Amino acid sequence: MIMSRTEAAPDQARGDLTERLLAGLPAEAVLTDPDVTGSYANDMASFCPAGAPAVVVLPRTVEEVQHVMRTATELRVPVVPQGARTGLSGGANASDGCIALSLTKMDRILEINPVDRIAVVEPGVINAALSRAVNEVGLCYPPDPSSWEMCTIGGNIGTASGGLCCVKYGVTAEYVLGLDVVLADGRLMSTGRRTAKGVAGYDLTRLFVGSEGSLGVVVRAVLALKPQPPQQLVLAAEFASAAAACDAVCRIMAGGHVPSLLELMDRTTVKAVNNIANMGLPETTEALLLAAFDTPDPAPDLAAVGALCEAAGATQVVPADDAAESELLLQARRLSLTALEAVRGVTMIDDVCVPRSRLGDLIEGVERIADKHQLTIGVVAHAGDGNTHPTVCFDAADPDESRRARESFDEIMALGLELGGTITGEHGVGVLKKEWLAREIGPVGIEMQRAIKQAFDPLGILNPGKLF
């Protein structure tokens, strides 16, 4: 039997790959120690298979990325682009024998232009670092995922991520004006523009946003900026039921209000946050709703929203006295997923988004699913968008509990589709939700997506096994 080169001599094949990579990369950019490369095998998602990378590459220049892709194409080696690996769907998980292409060393902010209101950045720039840099010149980059202190702009683009302030300011896709992308064969392509307007040709920029590294490697991004708004003030409202809190959300949105943030934490989440941070959040409440406004004078808006919360049955409405108290409440919200992970050691984080009018139906359905499977499932939500994160807490060492966790996760996604929603609002598909993407978009949709993938990556070497 004739075996392939990789099957016959994996060590030799790995050596050949490393040698070819080193021909165009500095030695410190190519990692081959299995103890080191193994740490790049997966992101933060549970239940997602991951392979062993043959090598990890940490380029610092566009030319080095091009060399990696040319080498991968010539040797037919899969490439998995990675950022900070804070993703929650397995989208950055390695495949056996792949090049794990970590872009974290490409972390320069190349330009901040206050007149054009743009920033030009490399993919490894940390979200929070960009936010602080543009704040210094009176500008703002609004997309702010909960992991903003760790996640990279390239990863945000790859998953089309959202954040706490999406309800007013929108998601990552709305701020990506143009991209430089290294294609599978090593060619460099520029998409989009630096201008405020532009409709020349197909919108290839939007095509890459959310493509999870399956079409090309983003090496530079032109991002839109906004004027820095006033410091927001937060209002906290307690409710005796999640349904009442969701009713308040509907009243707020139907009333024409534009909060900069509208977030919901259920009782399980509130208790979990208190357990790890001693924040003194009210554990007697069934749901805590946080609403914020960043208008020059937020007091009238907060008062109006407070009245709507009371009309919906809020048991207590407490506006923050100042920016420091507001920030404390937002920190509690940002800690939610970390806190829920501490409940049983491992979590599966759903990312179901439904129409705002069905938000209450989803949360009630999650409660039924939790009872059915005898599991702790905390719900935290970008309530203003209808984007919920039901978080299944379980003990990974318990096979039966793990099985029930997976079943409950799937039932929550099915419920979201039944309610007219989507399986992912901001975390992406990755490995975790491949089956569910097919259910959501149907066979014709999958056929068209595969055709796009074939056009950009005919050899199928870019992030194989993800999406579909």
Please give the pLDDT value at position 8. 38
Give dist(CA 389, CA 197) in Å, integer.
34
Within 10 angstroms of residue 187's Cβ, the number of other Cβ atoms is: 12
pLDDT 10s digits, 209-267 = 999 999 999 999 999 999 999 999 999 999 999 999 999 999 999 999 999 999 999 99
CATH class for the region spanning 5-102: alpha beta
pLDDT tens-place string over residues 127-164: 999 999 999 999 999 998 988 999 999 999 999 999 88
**pLDDT for the residue numbered 109:** 98
| Domain range 109-227, CATH class | alpha beta
- Could you confirm whether domain 231-274+287-333 is CATH 3.30.70.2190? yes
Q: How large is the angle between the packed helices 399-418 and 359-373, nearest 10 degrees?
A: 160
* Tens digit of each residue's pLDDT (9 = 90 or more) over 47-69: 899 999 999 999 999 999 999 99
| pLDDT reported for residue 343 | 95
Residue ranges for the chain with pLDDT beneath 50: 1-9
pLDDT value at residue 108: 98
Residue 12 confidence (pLDDT): 67
- Candidates 3.30.70.2740, 1.20.1260.10, 3.40.1190.10, 3.40.50.1820; correct CATH number of 335-461? 3.30.70.2740
d(CA 41, CA 302): 46
Residue span(s) of the chain under CATH 3.30.70.2740 come to: 335-461
pLDDT score, position 83: 97
Give residue 163's pLDDT: 86
**Confidence at residue 52, expressed as pLDDT on a 0 to 100 scale:** 96
Distances (CA, A) of 259 to 23, 249, 313, 318: 53, 11, 20, 16
Residue with tokens 């259910």: 439
Contacts of residue 132, Cβ cutoff 8 Å, sequence gap at least 6: none
Integer Cα distance of 434 and 438 in angstroms: 7
